[in-house]
Structure 1
Amino acid sequence: MITKGINHLGLTVRDLDQTTAFFTELLGWKLLARDDSYPRTTVSDGSARLTLWQADRTAPKTDFDRKANIGLHHVALEVETEDDLNALAGKIEAWPGVTIEFGPEPLGNGPRKHMMFAEPGGIRLEIIWAAGQ
């Protein structure tokens, strides 16, 4: 194998400041870089690294449709415990601009659980508690 994993995932978002705040303020990720000349930020939780790109504000926006668009379906982030999932779900549900697809529920036959939502910039995210699997 010549590759060794994903260096970063680049995502285009509706509002760079809103999405950056979601990751840094709500999820506690660290802001690694910001470049206002080519509007983007880079955020990380110490394991995953995302580069967030501002969509052209002058162009019409088309929301992502996971069933019709080629490309990103969602980004899945893992939490350590079921309590972490439930606590984070409450914070996510209260965050302005978030659209909840479904709250914490069993994944398949369990015991794993997950939730799906779109953060304010329109990126579909999943939070998973893997139940030690």
Structure 2
Amino acid sequence: MPNNELQANGQLCARVSAVFCIIMSEIRARINGPRPPFYILAEEIWPGEDFDSYGDSQTPESESWTELTIINSKNTSQRIHVDPESRNLLVLAVRSEVQELAQRAAQFIVKNCSGEMLGHA
């Protein structure tokens, strides 16, 4: 595990400074098919709301992205991070400070990608 991350009570604690850390829920999912375009995930989580996004999608319609951060524009504390844990058999780690957001995002990805939940980290 990188030096800037600590494992605590089954949740990921990402060090944001020498004093503070943010507890994040993390759910791992094995992906067996293409991903839906990244914006569809954001629209599922925050219907009709504006969002910011960052990631490795080559185009908005790309189905091969593996890295994504989406942030609710009205409430920037609502953010979801998706990162590859393994690329051979694609395993994505879905993280959020809000456990419900991580759960909903992971469930959406699994349902739409012929995937399976591997559980919490």
TM-score by structure 1 length?
0.28
Q: TM-score, normalised by structure 2?
A: 0.30
Query: Which structure shows the higher strand fraction?
Result: 2
Structure with greater contact order relative to length (CA < 8 Å, sep ≥ 6):
2
- Highest CA radius of gyration, 1 or 2? 1
